[in-house]
Amino acid sequence: MHIDSKQQSIAATLALAPVVPVVIIDDAKAAVPMARALVAGGIPAIEVTLRTPAALEAVRAIAQEVEGAVVGVGTVLTPKDLHAAREAGARFAVSPGISPNILAAADDSDLPLLPGTATASEVMTLLERGYRHLKFFPAVPAGGHKLIAAWASPLPQVRFCPTGGISLSSAPDFLSLPNVICVGGSWLTPADKLKAGDWAGIELLAREARGLK
């Protein structure tokens, strides 16, 4: 798949809702009810991070069992991670930054990649490779919405999904910018609600996030 086609796929996924939940899941059994709660709340694109042993099993379960979910894999650091994400049924992959190896692997894979950036130089490097939709990470520590706003004029062809330190209250600062397509956030699937199986609570958080503009 050509980079343009993969970027169109990423764009369509990011446009599904104002927020992409960034999920750290310890128990794969929680994956399906969690994802169903998010979809019911209007949040279909879900990023499951490769930060726990349960992650790939969770992705596989969501991909197979949750209608309406568009599941992706986050914290993709190596070509092996990218391959494992594809094998698990992920529809997209997300990396916290960029490296020559991960970009080469993404070129050879049909799995769309949302690569992470924190500087204008990284954005320019990815532009040269055909990327127009990028993650901005870690969004708040790296400069927040003011930095992305400053990039809008010299880099108007890029749209961002800021992730890292964003909350329900601060998300509108980012979403109001013309070069932000959505935000990523971990607040939709807090560890206490996942552990307690509070799916109604997660659906409510998803509905709140769906209402963001």
Spot the catalytic one: 135, 193, 203, 208. Answer: 135
User: What are the helix (H) ranges across the chain?
Assistant: 3-14, 31-40, 55-65, 79-88, 100-108, 120-128, 139-142, 144-151, 171-175, 191-196, 199-210
Give dist(CA 14, CA 44) in Å, integer: 10
pLDDT in tens, 137-176: 999 999 999 999 999 999 999 999 999 999 999 999 999 9
Burial class (CB in 10 A: 0-12, 13-18, 19+), 162: buried
Walk me through the domains of the chain, giving residue ranges and CATH numbers.
3-207 (3.20.20.70)
What is the DSSP secondary structure assignment for residue 131, as one 8-state letter? Answer: -
Spot the catalytic one: 47, 67, 80, 213. Answer: 47
Paired with 85 in beta bridges are none
- Which pLDDT belongs to residue 141? 97
| Buried/exposed code over 94-117 (b: 16+ C-beta within 10 A; e: otherwise) | bbbebeeebbebbeebebbbbbbb
Distances 174 to 94, 118, 188 between C-alpha atoms, Å: 19, 15, 17
Other beta carbons less than 10 A from residue 42's beta carbon: 18
Q: Is-contact 17 44, C-beta < 8 A?
A: yes
Whole-prediction pTM? 0.97
Q: What is the mean pLDDT of residues 185-205?
A: 98
- Which pLDDT belongs to residue 102? 97
Q: Is-contact 210 40, C-beta < 8 A?
A: no
Q: What is the mean pLDDT of residues 183-211?
A: 98
Quick check: 213 pLDDT over 90? no
Quick check: 180 pLDDT over 90? yes
How far is Cα of residue 150 from the mean position of the Cα atoms in its chain? Answer: 22
Burial class (CB in 10 A: 0-12, 13-18, 19+), 147: middle
Task: Assess whether 135 carries a catalytic annotation.
Answer: yes
Other beta carbons less than 10 A from residue 141's beta carbon: 10
